[in-house]
Amino acid sequence: MTPAASPAADDELTVLNVVVSSPDKRGGAIRAGLQLGDHLESYADVDTVKMAGKYDELLAEELGLTGGFETTPSRTLLRNIGRAAMESTGNYENTVIWTELSTPRPLEEYDVAHFHNAVPLWGLLSAAIRCRLASVPYVMTTHGISKIPDLPESMGMSGAQQFVFNLAFLRPYRWVLGNAEALFALSESDEQRLNEMLPTVPTTVVPNGVRLNLDKPGTDLLNFDLPSNRPLLFFVGKLITSKGIGDLLDAYEQLDNKCTLFVAGPPATEEYAERLERFDEENVRYLGYADQDVLEAFYRRADLFVFPTRSDVFPLVTLEALAAGTPVVSTTVGGIPEQITDETGILVPPERPDEIAGAVDELLNDDQRRASMSEAAIERAKTEYSWDGVARKTVNVYERICK
């Protein structure tokens, strides 16, 4: 999907941008890796490759990638054997998807490789080993990897499960990160955790960027029959407990203002989808998975973006709300306090639906404050989170490594 590689100028770095992904995934880390590769092309000779998946063409179209990307095989045989042998393996079987890391030019010709995403583990591990064997230095954007040591406790693993986890999961991840020339943390809080975990590996804070499509014509939302006399609240995220969807619905039931909540995102289980369906359509509507054009249209139309997540590192959805000029009500987890200032939204502690409801009512009752926040949000997205700025910071690190 990428144009043929062209010879690099004498002083131009040759970069291999590698997006690790399971065949059925298209989440934030994958999108961020592809978009960074697209913008790096202004500063380096870049080839972006992604582990093959069923949404590859859709991603290229949704993200408006000008350079495109090539795919490297996703080897799923061991995963499929695991699925056949066990009635239910959760998401663990995706760990053993691997890749041969096929590249547009010989691997040895790249000055540096840049990895994105940590799942599937074998995909990441096999790519890292190939680069080590070819003496190609690599860096990695962590995309939440610092949370991995917390998984045994958060998932309630038994002692035996923790032993297997540490041996089969944590140690390989540490090996990949420990052999990197540099790590990119998405936030200062993420950087601190990585420094505690891997104090000998240089770590730099380089956040995700966001598309600035302020002049793009909006998608027609007439088919969604939007209410004309009610404020509109918007949420985007997978329907799982850690994204705060339950807290959002609890908060909605406590609001003093009458408004309509639109929820977009794939359901992980039927629990939350069924709860959403129990609301009257005038109050809460579930969109399911929505493509990027529809999401951007809802961001722009919404009066508030409400995202009461319980666990996140540096979510893209809050940046997308800023870029659309939509004030944000969210939580003080991960790097969100670095994204959302008092001028662009209100943050509350996680797992506090009552405070979410209070913040929403406070802003819905103050049109002037929301208008001021909207202007500040757009300006913050432009100055702090443009993909061009992120690409320049990234190339600065490459240059230090390749001196």
Residues paired with 210 in a beta bridge: 386
Average pLDDT, the chain: 88
Q: How many CB atoms lie within 10 A of CB 200?
A: 6
78 within 8 A of 126, measured Cβ to Cβ = no
Number of helices and strands in the chain (H, E): 16, 13
* Best CA proximity match to 344, nearest among 329, 334, 359, 358: 329
Query: Mind giving me the DSSP string for 168-237?
Result: IIIHHHHHHHHT-SEEEESSHHHHHHHHHH-TTS-EEE----B---TTSPPPP-GGG---SSS-EEEEES
Model confidence over 71-107: pLDDT tens digits? 999 987 666 655 554 444 445 557 778 898 999 999 9
Q: Which residues contact 311 (CB under 8 A, 6 or more apart)?
A: 147, 154, 242, 333, 334, 350
pLDDT at 3: 46
Considering only CA atoms, which of 333, 364, 356 is closest in space to residue 249?
356
Tokens of 279: 């609301």
Q: 297, 321 in Cβ contact below 8 A?
A: no
Closest to 143 in 3D by CA, of 104, 194, 105, 181: 194
pLDDT for residue 218 = 58
267: pLDDT strictly greater than 80: yes
Residue 398: band (very low, low, confident or very high) from pLDDT cuts 50, 70, 90: very high
Q: Give the model's pLDDT for residue 79.
A: 64
In whole angstroms, give the CA distance from residue 220 to residue 225.
Answer: 11
Q: Which domains does the chain have, with CATH numbers?
A: 14-209+386-401 (3.40.50.2000), 222-384 (3.40.50.2000)
- How much is the pTM? 0.86
Q: Which residues pair with 346 in a beta bridge?
A: 329
